Amino acid sequence: MTARTPDPTAAPDAPALHRHVPPPGHVALPRHAAPPRHVALPRHVAVAGAGLAATQTVAALRESGFDGRVTVLGAEVLPPYDRPPLSKHLLDRPGPTWLADEVGVDLRALADDVRLGTPATGLVVTGDGVELATADGTVAADAVVLATGAAAVRPAGWSAALTLHTADDAQALRERLAPGTRLVVIGAGWIGAEVAGVAAAAGVDVTVVEAAPGPLGSALGPAVGGLTARWYATAGVRLLCDVQVVDVRADGVTLADGRALPADVVLAAVGARPATAWLDGALPREPDGSLRVDEGFAVIGAPRHVRAVGDVALRRSARHGWVPGGHWDGALRGPEGLVTDLLGLDGQLADVAPYVFSTQLGHELALFGQPRPGDDVVLRGDPGSTDGWSAVWFRPGADDAAAILTVDRPRDVGAARRLFGARDLPRLDRRLVRDLDHPLRETALA
């Protein structure tokens, strides 16, 4: 594949993403994942979206030898850019981080027709092709890759709150933050924590309000997520948990317990949802708007020339079950397998492990895998120390490790990445996992 963004949390011995090597997770899957050989291969592929997943799809098509026509329809007028820096580097990177620089892909040089600021507004699927509606007319193609990403959630009645998902969002937020500004962040998830830490470090007066009992509860569960609560005070951020916001105004918010929090800026950081409303019944969608896809990213319930990747996809994984979108690695690496499958090429499909990295409140986090409620949690190290720690989720009563979180432990990052490189969940010795003197990579059972 193309040059790729280095992982800021990777251990020194972790595989560099920019090298042309098969990433961990390449496993042989049943050949039913490939399209039947008698199906005509596409000569025109339309890509709806112009973010990381779309950019990598176009690159994978060309690197696989596809010499047909490629059309890209993007909603934003800006060239493709990387989204993680929008929160992690909100105040120290005033401009977008262009994907042409980060992953080395020039979308305009590879695609035949790139229409930025021209989103797809409708889809008609036929037995041998698709038609995409736009404000400028219809685009007909033999195959479509849906990579329209996600949109930030803004609950009804919260029009006074800002959100953070696009470069324009970041610019609007950045322009309103200055030392002494009162910022109320609603939501203590990944984005809320990152913005809170960055803003507080710049002298902004920050309060974070979380409806759950603790931070990162939906991502890490209450037990592990709660271990991050102490970071807020250390970073100079007030954290209010287990309380809901009932009113949002330009000058503050009101909580369910009657407290009023004055603010100059309110940021709603309560999640994102797949941006698929424009499909409007053309394809079967999940309640959150996601599209179920198989191992080759073919949309289940649609002809195989309809694919989806990135934030819009709910992917079937032999290792993890159903994997939702929103993972940066999925958008980076998934398109290679999609193209291999779409074009009927020989090759292995990567079962990419869910992966999140976050820089928040003075700490570096990396999460591999997918925790589930009810999993057993084994801690590795002392969360109260300054030496870093990790958490491992095991399937109840079993040796199968479902997820690994590392906190300020770069030596565990590379090991965790490799452990999720096989077809099945890694089987680890719980006793050895607890022992910091035992390298994580050596905790695997035979």
pLDDT in tens, 181-229: 999 999 999 999 999 999 999 999 999 999 999 999 999 999 999 999 9
Choice among 231-235, 284-288, 325-329 with the minimum mean pLDDT: 325-329
pLDDT at 33 over 60: no
What one-letter code names the amino acid at 1? M
Q: Which residues contact 81 (CB under 8 A, 6 or more apart)?
A: 96, 97, 98, 99, 167
Residues 6+ positions from 75 with CB-CB distance below 8 Å: 49, 50, 117, 118, 119, 148, 275
How confident is residue 98, by pLDDT bands cut at 50, 70 and 90? very high
Beta strand 97-98 pairing with 81-82? antiparallel
pLDDT at 21 over 60: no
Q: What is the pLDDT of residues 367-383, one digit of tens each?
A: 999 999 999 999 999 99
In this predicted model, what pLDDT tens digit does every residue of 350-370 receive, in sequence order? 899 999 999 999 999 999 999
**Do β-strands 245-249 and 252-255 pair in parallel, antiparallel, or remain unpaired?**
antiparallel
Provide the pLDDT confidence category of residue 40 given band limits of 50, 70 and 90: confident
Type of residue numbered 17: L
Look at residue 347 in the predicted model and tell me its pLDDT. 84
On the question of pLDDT at 8 being above 80, the answer is no
pLDDT digits 0-9 by tens, 100-123: 999 999 999 999 999 999 999 999
Structure confidence at residue 367 (pLDDT): 98
For residue 395 the two structure tokens come to 């399937």
What is the per-residue pLDDT for 14?
Answer: 31
What tokens appear for 292 in the block? 């179920």
Q: How far apart are CA 163 and CA 176, in angstroms?
A: 13
Mean pLDDT, rounded, of the chain: 91
> Which domains does the chain show, CATH number per domain?
34-151+272-350 (3.50.50.60), 154-268 (3.50.50.60), 356-443 (3.30.390.30)
Amino acid at 127: G
Q: DSSP string spanning 50-77? A: -SHHHHHHHHHHHHTT--SEEEEEESSS
Q: What angle do CA 57, 127, 325 make, to 5 degrees?
A: 35
For residues 93-98, give the mean pLDDT. Answer: 94
What's the token pair of residue 424? 């099945």
d(CA 73, CA 119): 5
Whether the CB-CB separation of 146 and 284 falls below 8 Å is answered with: no
Predicted pLDDT at 39: 53
What are the tokens at 190?
Answer: 């990944």
Is-contact 412 387, C-beta < 8 A? no
Tell me the two tokens of residue 346.
């020989």
Beta strand spans in 29-181 (E):
44-48, 69-74, 81-82, 97-98, 113-116, 122-126, 129-134, 137-141, 143-146, 150-152
Least confident segment among 20-29, 145-154, 272-281: 20-29
Distance (Å, rounded) from C-alpha 100 to C-alpha 107?
A: 8
Average pLDDT for residues 228-256, to the nearest whole number? 98
Task: Look up residue 228 and give its DSSP letter.
Answer: G
Rounded-to-integer distance, Cα 30 and Cα 41, Å: 20
